[in-house]
Amino acid sequence: MKLTTIDTADGPFTLLAEDGVVLASGWTGDPEVILARLRPAERPDTVEAADLDDAEVAGPTDAVRRYYAGDLAAIDDVPVRQAGSDWRLRGWRQLREIPPGHPLSYAAFAEVLGSPTAVRAAASICATNAPALFVPCHRVLRGDGTMGGFAWGVEVKRSLLARERAAVPVQR
């Protein structure tokens, strides 16, 4: 497995990938923080640092660059690998279906998952999402429209949502 860090408008973004598949990522320059996003059983024994053009990380790092350049769809097809219950796996897949510029509330996300009363469980899907950005858990907000929590800081979440809102044409 390979680990690399790319500079973004929101600070350093580090990702862990294997053969172009992202396992964990987020806005930090600290590899240990990225590895800690994985369940202990999923953490690799060895990790190598990779240049941005290394074949194992080049696709995802290119997608991050393109996303920050305004191509919001660049992250959509980057493969990810996550381990969890069927509920979590379904939730993480559903997060990838939320269109940029159109965030959901935690309650609406729970409803989309077929369990409208499971708002806390839906929020925990977001909280345990390891490949941040590629699985855009930042697109889920509190019911009153405020940010709520985000593993990488509310300012990063606010920035991502503002970037997406600005890039999506207003629908009339």
The residues annotated as belonging to the active site are 137
Q: Are 120 and 110 in contact (CB under 8 A)?
A: no
How far apart (Å, rounded) are the C-alpha atoms in residues 33 and 60? 19
Q: Which two tokens stand for residue 72?
A: 């919001």
Question: How crowded is the C-beta side of 56, counted as CA atoms within 13 Å?
Answer: 16
CA–CA gap between residue 18 and residue 115 (Å, rounded): 33
β-bridge pairing 11-18 and 21-26: antiparallel
As a whole number of angstroms, the distance between CA 132 and CA 164 comes to 15
Residue 16 and residue 35 in contact, taking contact as beta carbons nearer than 8 Å: yes
Phi-psi region of 11 (alpha: psi -120 to 50; beta: other; left: phi over 0): left
C-alpha span between 116 and 167 (Å, rounded): 30
